[in-house]
Amino acid sequence: MELESLYYFLETAKDLHITRTAQRLHISQQTLSNHISRLERYYGTKLFYRYPALQLTSAGREVLRFSQTVHQEEKNLKAILVDTLQSDTGEITLSASSPRFNYYLPDVLKKFSRRYPNVIIDLIDRTSDDSEILVQKNQVDFAVTVDTDAVRLHVNVKATYEDPVYFCVSDKLLYKYYGEDMYMLREKSYGRGANLEDFSRLPFLIVSPQGRMGKRISQCFSEAGYEPKTYLKAGYTTIMAPLCNAALAGCFTSHMNLARWNYYLDDDVNIFPLCLNNKPVRLKIYVIYSRQRYLNHHCRYFIDLLEEQFSVIGGEMLTRMSFKKF
């Protein structure tokens, strides 16, 4: 039995499609099939049903569990040897959503590369749900996720940060729907945070499909007791700046995203902390990794830099109120 054949079997089991797996791994279909056949001869049984579609046999499922364990232990061995040899080369795989890592990661990478210029960083753009699955399957070193249930997932949590959620709305939009009442509403929301029951007349940018931030915002609308008037549905909140500036909709964004896009907002755009049950809405950001995974000194230093960067982000104050008069 060869580790290489086990690896190709493991990758094929992910796709259950010879052609796609071969293309993804940049090898020929024949080479991939030869590795599968070699394992089947070694174990004396079929590992896949070929028709009508590729599926694991019961024996194949047992070999899959074994190959996952072997693959993980080999990765851990390599990580341990990196520490033993004090090697300055290697690779780190990180899964996170691009809207967030576009903000915090450049500064982290700059510092990391000064110490470890020969370590490759492999970024995988995934939602928190998908990132958690990758960690559980040991397919990434670690992930940055939102509101992770570490006990349920059986993962380790290394760093945390509470990411506030903001409601952004321009004076022009407030005046259009509330007239002179906007001044009292503006001051109330600046002092206590934005409760959505006060903004029921407005159109909104709704994040769809709902991620974890979207679900928290839905809870705010439920507490307010109304269905929001949707101006636009979008997959990410990065469109919030032009929508706010054009006075088209009220928008929601996380602290991390707002820190990046704040400079693009016009002076008359108000930024209020979003509230649920009269408390600011905060998304808990975690760095998680599998309890089976050994983190070498490269990974530990990278996580230390993430913690450091999160503390810098958390120190910023982004709430603001316009003083424009109509």
CATH class of the domain comprising 3-72: mainly alpha
Selected from 3.40.190.10, 3.10.20.30, 2.40.30.10, 3.90.226.30, the CATH number assigned to the domain covering 163-282 reads 3.40.190.10
Q: Which pair of tokens denotes residue 29?
A: 């279909």
The pTM of this model reads 0.75
Q: Check: CB of residue 84 under 8 Å from CB of residue 297.
A: no
Torsion angle, CA of 61/64/68/69, rounded to 10 degrees?
A: 70
**Identical fold between 73-162+285-314 and 163-282:** yes
Continuous H helices in 50-127: 58-85, 98-115
Residue 202 sits at φ, ψ, to 5 deg, of: -80, 155
Token pair recorded at residue 107: 């500064």
Long-range contacts of 146-150 (CB under 8 A, 24+ apart): 146/211, 146/212, 146/213, 146/283, 146/284, 146/285, 146/286, 147/212, 147/283, 147/284, 147/286, 148/284, 148/286, 148/288, 150/286, 150/288
The pLDDT value recorded for residue 267 is: 93
Please name the residue that has the structure tokens 């109304």: 226
Count of alpha carbons within 13 angstroms of residue 73, beta-carbon side: 8
What topology is assigned to 73-162+285-314 in CATH? D-Maltodextrin-Binding Protein; domain 2 (3.40.190)
User: Domain locations in the chain?
Assistant: 3-72, 73-162+285-314, 163-282
Span between the terminal Cα atoms of the chain, in Å: 78
Q: Using CA atoms, how far apart are residues 243 and 169, in angstroms rounded to an integer?
A: 9
pLDDT in tens, the chain (326 residues): 678 888 888 889 988 998 999 898 889 999 988 989 989 899 999 999 988 889 999 999 999 888 888 887 887 777 778 777 777 888 899 999 887 788 889 999 999 999 999 999 999 999 888 999 999 888 899 999 988 877 677 888 887 888 999 999 999 999 999 999 999 999 999 989 999 999 999 999 998 767 788 889 999 999 999 999 999 988 777 788 899 999 999 999 988 888 888 888 999 999 999 999 889 999 999 999 988 888 889 999 999 999 888 888 766 778 998 877 87
